[in-house]
A and B are shown apart, each in its own frame.
Chain A
Amino acid sequence: MLLISCPNCGPRDETEFHYGGQAHVPYPENPNDLTDREWAEYLFYRENTKGTFAERWVHSTGCRQWFNMLRDTVSYDIHSIYAMGSPRPDIAGQSAQGQAGGPGLAPGAPTTTTSPEGAQK
């Protein structure tokens, strides 16, 4: 079971949370202009990263707030927890694409925010 540090409530068991899938998936800026292919991408295609993955969680039985998390999908280590709307933290030694390998940050460690990925809703 994961031990997840809710930014508002502190460390709680995974069972208090719900998983919300990939983070940083912006709603299309001009929905009317999208082709079927682009709609398919928006609705059904998500990264399935083997390695460090940016994802959303909600503390459903606690403060009911959403937040983002960088988690390794192989080791299940949680590298960083950060606010919705903040850019993805740049973890030392890892590209923004989050390939496997490289050292992770301890939870709570300071993170830089040089990732080009902006806070798009």
Chain B
Amino acid sequence: MSVDHLPEHPDFLWRNPEPKKSYDAVIVGGGGHGLATAYFLAKNHGMTNIAILEKGWLAGGNMARNTTIIRSNYLWDESAAIYEHALKLWEILPEELEYDFLFSQRGVMNLAHTLGDVRESMRRVGANRLNGVDAEWLEPDQVKELCPILNTSDNIRYPVMGATYQPRAGIAKHDHVAWAFARKCDELGVDIIQNCEVTGFIKDGNRVTGVKTTRGTINTEKVGLAAAGHSSVLAEMAGFRLPIQSHPLQALVSELHEPVHPTVVMSNHVHVYVSQAHKGELVMGAGVDSYNGYGQRGSFHVIEEQMAAAVELFPIFARAHVLRTWGGIVDTTLDASPIVGVTPVENMFVNCGWGTGGFKGTPAAGLTFAHTIATGAPHELNAPFALERFETGALIDEHGAAAVAH
């Protein structure tokens, strides 16, 4: 499972150009989604006179803060389709981007602790299989075999009653993913502009024609918003609303350990998820803070609860030390599904609402959003995730499979 060292970086990653006066398209947000979008715009649609504008440093938002779990075992057809497409892209991207980002398909288990969990999990395994997503139901002894350090005794508060298992799921080195996309974007001619905050939009009637930034005004024919936790702030500047609430979500890592944790374990019920990073840290996360927040930090009691759950499930971690904690700002929707598509403003498009689980979707978000920006119409994979679903009522309620309650 573990590798000895991280991959060497290529000599050259990306330029830091001055912003030009105008572009064919501008992507707001230099996280994984913005980078993947620019990459597919250039590669699949031949649009290379484009810029990514990032207010901070490249991929310093949620991209740098997430726990990197990649899986596609979502319940509904629409979600299974887009997340499974993403997973298939993850499988080929290291070669395509010519940059190893250590996509490790070590499998993900989602534990069941109640009879309700068990029924829901089995239903999801069935649904996944019908959608061509690899999924298995594991009995407690099979769980133990796959992850021997997991406490599967039945005398704990919420015993492990089984788990769903997706063998093709796993983790990747998130920073390396961003750098891999950035390098290819640069190679294809995309301008990556850091320290450039979008502060307003220029419109001709209802059509966007430019962006105002802390580094001057830039004219553009098309704008793609990929700003995760800040999407509704930008939408407000552009004159429309999004059904998004921004919440703090935090994670933490321990000191380094020998390889002991061979897979990824998630529990929605006791609310913790744990994997072991390539270097050896235990990476853990839990749920969002309940209230809206733009501070990149989370509440201490959330950590306390997730630690209690982790130590009951993994007694050998009782003496592990926490090395670092941090938070991101995630953009949640009421049906726990993303919004990717057109907006009420002409030539402005939005990719947001991926909430606590958008890292795994990065390649498919980029691919479908690029299609929408280039053609003005949705790709078949993002069509169900249009903003209008909140009006038509065709919601895609993924709370059960989103794995983190929010």
Assess A55 versus B233: contact at CB under 8 Å? Given A40-B391, A45-B241.
Answer: no
Residues of A within 8 A of B393 (CB): 36
- Give complex CA distance A12, B334 in Å: 29
Inter-chain contact A73/B292, CB cutoff 8 Å: yes
Scan residues 1-17 of chain A and give those whose CB is less than 8 A from a CB of chain B: 1-2, 13-15
Inter-chain contact B292/A40, CB cutoff 8 Å: no
Scan residues 230-268 of chain B and give those whose CB is less than 8 A from a CB of chain A: 230, 232-233, 241-246
13 sample A-B contacts, Cβ–Cβ < 8 Å, listed by A number: A1-B300, A2-B299, A14-B301, A36-B392, A45-B243, A45-B390, A48-B242, A48-B246, A50-B230, A50-B233, A50-B246, A74-B293, A74-B294
A30: interface (CB < 8 Å): no
Scan residues 35-81 of chain A and give those whose CB is less than 8 A from a CB of chain B: 36-37, 39-41, 43-46, 48-50, 53, 55, 71, 73-76
B12: interface (CB < 8 Å): no
Interface size of A as a range: 20 to 34
Residues of A within 8 A of B233 (CB): 48, 50
Option from B291, B292, B295, B390 in Cβ contact (under 8 Å) with A44: B390
User: Which residue, A14, A44, A74, A76, has most C-beta atoms of chain B within 10 A?
Assistant: A44
Assess A19 versus B290: contact at CB under 8 Å? Given A36-B392, A44-B334, A48-B244.
Answer: yes
Inter-chain contact A48/B292, CB cutoff 8 Å: yes
Task: Count B interface residues, CB 8 Å.
Answer: 23
- Give complex CA distance A49, B294 in Å: 9
- Give complex CA distance A36, B394 in Å: 12
Option from A15, A49, A75 in Cβ contact (under 8 Å) with B301: A15
Inter-chain contact A19/B391, CB cutoff 8 Å: no
Inter-chain contact B232/A48, CB cutoff 8 Å: yes
How many whole Å from A4's CB to the nearest CB in chain B?
10
- Give complex CA distance A7, B134 in Å: 53
How many whole Å from B248's CB to the nearest CB in chain A?
9
Extra contacts, 8 of them, besides A44-B390, A49-B292, A76-B293 (Cβ < 8 A), are A1-B299, A1-B300, A13-B301, A48-B233, A48-B242, A48-B246, A50-B233, A73-B292
